Amino acid sequence: MSRALISGLPAALAIFVMLAGGAIAQVRVNTILALSDAPDVNVLNVTLSALGIEDQEESELSGTVNAILTIDPGTDQVSEFTLSSGDLTATDMSFSLELGPISVADVDLSGIKATISTTLQGLVTPGSGQFDASLHQVTLYEGAITGSAITGEVDENFTESPVTGAGAGTGTVTLSRTAVEGNIVTYDVLVVLPLEFSNPLQDGVDVIVNSTVQMEGTIEVPLDPYLGWAELNGIPDAPFEEDHDGDGVPNGLLWALGYNVNDRPSLFTPDLFIPGQVDLIVTPGPVGIRAPVFVEGNFDQGGWTLLDPFLLLGFENPVPVGEDWPIVIFLSGDRNFVRLRVEKP
């Protein structure tokens, strides 16, 4: 059975990479940003409210966050700002709730730790650098809440009762290009994220948080992501369209499919599990597709045309950036040719 299927495969399979003077591609980078210590920012204005009585105190927020930014070094614009984690601390606070001469509660908040993350992918409007602040949320997950109240002792903590809430309004990402050296552009990054939320701590007791979180850092972005990959992988002079190790897979395709220089992927693996149908499988590397991969067919030598997306699992042609599932190409038993094409960034 498997022998019969293999003999039904197209007579030849070609892998090509085409050069095109296209636009500079977007580059997705991981970076660490620090909360800045500029005045008036990264101050948590925390209001404790119980039985209709309020007290507001300030707490300094500091620490670092891990962020992912997608940048187009051709236009210096950002299209994504996603927070993956944060390691933040907030200074202690003492609240005193009073009703005229009567002390209702004296409560200390100490040892506060917080994290910050993005619920979905953090899309940014490229022209303005603005984003919806509610995509990001802050959680106070550690810290003691102790003291005395008219109703008795207070002994709570954020570990058991975390306080969480989202950003509010519009945030901004600002890039300033500070240097260009060879293939690398250096930027100063400044992110402003307004916060405003309330969270019930227990029946009748609310915590209201209001702040402007400001994060800063420096990032390096390769102008040409292929060249950046080649340099990092020790083949800085290897052309996009050539094949540095002679395994039949051109350097540019190896990069676009998400592999490292020394990987030897076997592309166009026949799928033997669906009888009566000829399928080919192309497996992306561990990081997924780095640049759009065009799957093209040439029937009866009539010229290369983009394959109907419905012949691909996922129904997208070109296969989009970030895809890490195998590319399955459904073919009929006719004699034809298939190739993968990638445009040089």
As measured in angstroms, the least distance from the Cβ of 242 to Ca ion is: 8
* Nearer to Ca ion among residue 249 and residue 338 (C-beta): 249
**How many residues of this chain bind Ca ion (CB under 5 A)?**
4
As measured in angstroms, the least distance from the Cβ of 245 to Ca ion is: 5
* Nearer to Ca ion among residue 68 and residue 235 (C-beta): 235
Amino acid making up residue 345: P
Query: Should residue 72 be labelled a site residue for Ca ion when binding is judged by CB under 5 A?
Result: no
Which distant-in-sequence residues (6+ apart) come within 8 Å of 12 by Cβ? 337
* Nearer to Ca ion among residue 30 and residue 260 (C-beta): 260
As measured in angstroms, the least distance from the Cβ of 246 to Ca ion is: 7
Query: What do you get for the CA distance between the two ends of the chain, in Å?
Result: 43
* Nearer to Ca ion among residue 87 and residue 243 (C-beta): 243
* Nearer to Ca ion among residue 132 and residue 245 (C-beta): 245
User: Up-side HSE of residue 151: CA atoms within 13 Å toward CB?
Assistant: 9
Look at the alpha carbons of 288, 292, 297, 301 in this order and tell me if their dihedral is positive or negative: negative
Among positions 231-260, residues that touch Ca ion (CB under 5 A) are: 243, 245, 247, 249
As measured in angstroms, the least distance from the Cβ of 251 to Ca ion is: 6
As measured in angstroms, the least distance from the Cβ of 244 to Ca ion is: 6
As measured in angstroms, the least distance from the Cβ of 168 to Ca ion is: 51
* Nearer to Ca ion among residue 130 and residue 233 (C-beta): 233
Instruction: Kindly write out the interface string for residues 194-233 of this chain, putting x where it contacts Ca ion by CB under 5 A and - elsewhere.
Output: ----------------------------------------
* Nearer to Ca ion among residue 92 and residue 243 (C-beta): 243
**Count of residues making up the chain:** 345
DSSP-assigned letter for residue 19: -
Q: What is the 3-state secondary structure (H, E, C) of 292-342?
A: CEEEEEEECCCCCEECCHHHECCCCCCECCCCCCCEEEEECCCCEEEEEEC
Instruction: For 46-90, give the DSSP string.
Output: EEEEETTEEEEEEEEEEEEEEEEEEEETTTTEEEEEEEEEEEEEE
* Nearer to Ca ion among residue 221 and residue 267 (C-beta): 267
As measured in angstroms, the least distance from the Cβ of 235 to Ca ion is: 10
Look at the alpha carbons of 51, 147, 48, 100 in this order and tell me if their dihedral is positive or negative: positive
Nearest Cα to Cα of residue 258 among 170, 167, 320, 192: 320
Look at the alpha carbons of 99, 104, 106, 109 in this order and tell me if their dihedral is positive or negative: negative
**How large is the C-alpha radius of gyration of the chain?**
28
Find out whether 114 and 86 touch, Cβ atoms under 8 Å: yes
As measured in angstroms, the least distance from the Cβ of 247 to Ca ion is: 4
Among positions 168-197, residues that touch Ca ion (CB under 5 A) are: none
Q: Which residues bind Ca ion (CB under 5 A)?
A: 243, 245, 247, 249
